Structure 1
Amino acid sequence: MRIIGLDIHRVFAEAVALEGASLKRLGRIGMTRDHLAAFAAILEKTDHVVIEATGNATAVVEILAPHVARVAVANPLQVHLIAKAKTKTDKIDAGVLAQLYAAGFLPEVWLPDEATLARRRQVTRRSQLVKQRVRLKGIVQSILHAHLIPRCPHADLFGIKGRAWLRAQYLPEDEREAVERHIGEYDRLTEAQKGVERDIARAALDDENVKRIMTAPGIDMVVAVGLMAAIGRIDRFDDPDKLVAYIGLNPSVRQSGDGPAYHGRITKRGRSNARHLLVEAAWQAVRAPGTLRAFYERIRARRGNHIAAVAVARKLAVLIWHMLTKGEDYAWVRPALMARKMRALELAAGLPARRGQRGASYDYNLPEGRRADRAIAEHAEGAYRRMTQGWRRKGPGHGAGAATEERR
């Protein structure tokens, strides 16, 4: 069996073949479809190819996989930790990939299916559009600041009232033209974002896992789709701790010999987009009554706001693993609020509005409906507070963060 390592760059890849104990340089291959197809044609059906996970790794796998026995994709961070060396060349890097694979030490990554890849691309497009819109707002704010104009008294500077206030401010002619150009670009990006969100919502309408995740507090369509794009298949994770580690919400641990384990900040390894979405969802969840708010306040009393929010995000990840694995909705789901989320999903997908008709989300518009819906969460919060009322924290050095609790 021949193992071929490819060290991929932007315009070329360095190829090295491992046969037995000897390494043989195969030369450079252009990173285009034609060049890769020509290289694939000279490979044998028994060959194994090893590459690192890069932005174009999926396309490389698609071209090479039909011509060889297997294409393995390595985790670049873990390969770097294993194979760190003083001498570094493209040939050495490709050879290291082949040798690690031959020895059974290659840390591989999961290759998502086409549907998951498409969802990840859509989530990334939306995230890029959001960042560009935020950047344009920042540019306009900097122009106002440079000309001693106070902060806008309205919540949204680019809203109807904010734009009317902006037009009433004194600005030099060139600065005013620049602001108008930025507003026009902002509107164009807003329409593009709506189009991407429409495509995301249409795919989410038929996804039971997305709708199941949305039953949890603080999670809307955008967060649910972003999490499913990162997770792919939940059966990849044998237990919730593995999902937490995949998202990078697990605490770092340092221990030597028989001494105690010291837990530090979260690792922040893995899917950063999913981690950011979960933290945002955590901040939303703790604003409403429920078990997560009670949990947040218990941790906040000892560790502060930000650590408590990250603890809630980790709790949400564990909760999502159980919901997807068991095929069950959130136990304390608020029916009227969930109906409202689903209606927002339908409208985002472009389904027609039903003005004058009372749908399932109508109860949330009525004060008594919202009170009844809220009572479910308040009951759960009260039960959690009573359960944890007699808990106390262990002494120092007996665990990490939110997990260092026991009964009296």
Structure 2
Amino acid sequence: MRIIGMDIHRVFAEAVVLEDGEVKRLGRIGMTRDHLESFARTLLPTDHVVVEATSNATAVTEIIAPHVERVVVANPLQVHLIAKAKIKTDAIDARVLAKLYAAGFLPEVWIPDAATLARRRQVTRRTQLVRQRVRLKSIVQSILHANLIAQCPHADLFGGKGRSWLRAQYLPDDEQEAVDRHVEEYDRLSEALKGVERDIARAALTDPNVTRLMTIPGVDMVVAVGLMAAIGRIDRFDRPDKLVAYIGLNPSVHQSGVGPAYHGRITKRGRSNARHLLVEAAWQTVRSPGPLHAFYERIRGKRGNHIAAVAVARKLAVIMWHLLTKGEDYGLVRPSLHAKKIRDLELRAGHPPRRGQKGGTYNYNIPQRRRDERNQALQAEGVYRRMTTGWRRTGPDSKPTDATNEERL
């Protein structure tokens, strides 16, 4: 079996072959489809190809995979012989990749399927459009600030009332033209955002995992789709703590010899976009009554707001693993609220409105029904508070108790 190591760059890739313990340089390959296909045709069906994870590694994998037995994508953060090498060249990097794979010490990256890749691209497009719109708002705010104009009294500067207020402000001609251009660009990006969200919503409606995650209070379409795009197949994680580590919400651990283990901040390794989505969802989740709200209040009293929100985000990751693995909805789902989320998802997907008809969201418009669902969540929150009263952390510096360790919540 031959092992082909490729160190990928934007313009070219350096390739070496490891065969019978001997490494030979294959030279540089241009990073175009024609050059890669020509190179792939020179490989053997029994070859194993190793590449480092880069922004264009997926495209390289798709071209080479049909011509060889296997293509492996290496995790660059864990290939320390490359990342921390004192003598570093493209040929050496490609040789290290091939030798590590031959020795069985190469940390691999999961290669997502075509559907997951498409979903990730759509989520990335949406994120880029949202960031561009936020940037335009910041530019307009800076123009107003530079001209000593007070803060807009309305919540949304680019909303109906905000724009009326903006048009009434005096600005120099060149500044007014700049504001008009930014508002026009904002509207163009908003239309593009609606188109991207429409495509995402249409795909989400046919995915039971997305609608299942939306049964959790605080989790909407954006969070559910973003997490499913990052996770891919849930069967890749046989335990919830592996999913937590994949998202980067697990605490860092330092331990040596016979000394105790010290737990620090979260590692922040893995899918950063999924981690940000979970933290945003945590802030929304704790606004609703339920055990997660009580958990947040308990951690906040000890560690503060931000650490408590991250702890809730980790808890959400564990809950999501169980929901996706077992194929069940969230046990404390609020039916009318979930029906409203699904209806909003349908409207984003372009479904026609049904004005005057009693659909699935009709119960959400009944105040008594909403109060009943809220009271059920309050009862569950009360049960959690009574259960956790008097809990103490166990460890080498604390007296053991019969209570469950707080880390097992």
The normalised TM-score by structure 1 is 0.96
Q: Does 1:256 align with 2:247?
A: no
Q: Which segment is superposed worse, 274-283 or 374-383?
A: 374-383
Kindly provide the amino acid, as one letter, of the partner of residue 153 in structure 1.
P
Report the counterpart of residue 225 of structure 1 in structure 2: 225
Distance in 2 of aligned mates of 1:175 and 1:24: 62
Q: Does 1:57 align with 2:65?
A: no
2:93 match: secondary structure: helix
Pair 1:179–1:349, CA change in 2 (3 A): same
**Residue deviations 1:308-352, cap 9 Å, x none?**
000000000000000010111000000110110110111111001
TM-superposed deviation, 1:85: 1.5
Pair 1:102–1:43, CA change in 2 (3 A): same
Report the counterpart of residue 361 of structure 1 in structure 2: 361
Cα RMSD over matched residues? 1.5
Q: Which segment is superposed worse, 359-368 or 23-32?
A: 359-368
Q: Does 1:277 align with 2:277?
A: yes
Report the counterpart of residue 315 of structure 2 in structure 1: 315
TM-superposed deviation, 1:14: 0.4
Kindly provide the amino acid, as one letter, of the partner of residue 152 in structure 1.
C
Kindly provide the amino acid, as one letter, of the partner of residue 405 in structure 1.
E
2:96 match: secondary structure: helix
Distance in 2 of aligned mates of 1:76 and 1:83: 7
Pair 1:10–1:313, CA change in 2 (3 A): same
Distance in 1 of aligned mates of 2:73 and 2:255: 31
2:200 match: secondary structure: helix
Q: Which runs of 5+ in 1 are unaligned?
A: none
TM-superposed deviation, 1:298: 0.2
Distance in 2 of aligned mates of 1:159 and 1:261: 52
Distance in 1 of aligned mates of 2:178 and 2:406: 56
TM-superposed deviation, 1:21: 2.1
TM-superposed deviation, 1:397: 5.7
Report the counterpart of residue 106 of structure 1 in structure 2: 106
What is the correspondence of 1:19-34 to structure 2 with a 5 Å cutoff?
Answer: 19-34=19-34
Report the counterpart of residue 385 of structure 1 in structure 2: 385
Distance in 1 of aligned mates of 2:313 and 2:81: 28
Distance in 2 of aligned mates of 1:73 and 1:93: 14
TM-superposed deviation, 1:392: 2.5
**Residue deviations 1:130-186, cap 9 Å, x none?**
000000000001101111111111000000111111111111010000001000000
What is the correspondence of 1:24-103 to structure 2 with a 5 Å cutoff?
Answer: 24-80=24-80, 84-103=84-103
Distance in 2 of aligned mates of 1:112 and 1:104: 22
Report the counterpart of residue 136 of structure 2 in structure 1: 136
Distance in 1 of aligned mates of 2:397 and 2:88: 41
Distance in 1 of aligned mates of 2:194 and 2:130: 11
Kindly provide the amino acid, as one letter, of the partner of residue 28 in structure 1.
R
How many correspondences in the alignment? 403
TM-superposed deviation, 1:393: 3.5
Q: Which segment is superposed worse, 381-390 or 289-298?
A: 381-390
TM-superposed deviation, 1:405: 2.9
TM-superposed deviation, 1:84: 2.6
Distance in 2 of aligned mates of 1:341 and 1:129: 22
Pair 1:236–1:395, CA change in 2 (3 A): closer
1:77 match: secondary structure: coil
Distance in 1 of aligned mates of 2:169 and 2:83: 59
Report the counterpart of residue 171 of structure 1 in structure 2: 171
2:153 match: secondary structure: coil
1:76 match: secondary structure: coil
Distance in 1 of aligned mates of 2:407 and 2:64: 54
1:294 match: secondary structure: helix
Pair 1:81–1:294, CA change in 2 (3 A): farther
Kindly provide the amino acid, as one letter, of the partner of residue 324 in structure 1.
L
Distance in 2 of aligned mates of 1:149 and 1:397: 57
Report the counterpart of residue 301 of structure 1 in structure 2: 301
Q: Does 1:351 align with 2:351?
A: yes
**Residue deviations 1:270-308, cap 9 Å, x none?**
000100000000000001111110000000000000000
- Partners of 2:76 and 2:83 within 8 A in 1: no
TM-superposed deviation, 1:40: 0.7
Pair 1:130–1:218, CA change in 2 (3 A): same
Distance in 2 of aligned mates of 1:250 and 1:397: 22
**Residue deviations 1:241-268, cap 9 Å, x none?**
0000000000000011111111111000
Identity %: 78
Distance in 1 of aligned mates of 2:369 and 2:180: 44
What is the correspondence of 1:203-218 to structure 2 with a 5 Å cutoff?
Answer: 203-218=203-218
- Partners of 2:82 and 2:93 within 8 A in 1: no
Report the counterpart of residue 401 of structure 2 in structure 1: none
Distance in 2 of aligned mates of 1:51 and 1:290: 47
TM-superposed deviation, 1:390: 2.7
Report the counterpart of residue 338 of structure 1 in structure 2: 338
Pair 1:295–1:44, CA change in 2 (3 A): same
Kindly provide the amino acid, as one letter, of the partner of residue 111 in structure 1.
I
Report the counterpart of residue 325 of structure 1 in structure 2: 325
Report the counterpart of residue 155 of structure 1 in structure 2: 155
2:210 match: secondary structure: helix
- Partners of 1:5 and 1:49 within 8 A in 2: yes
1:268 match: secondary structure: coil
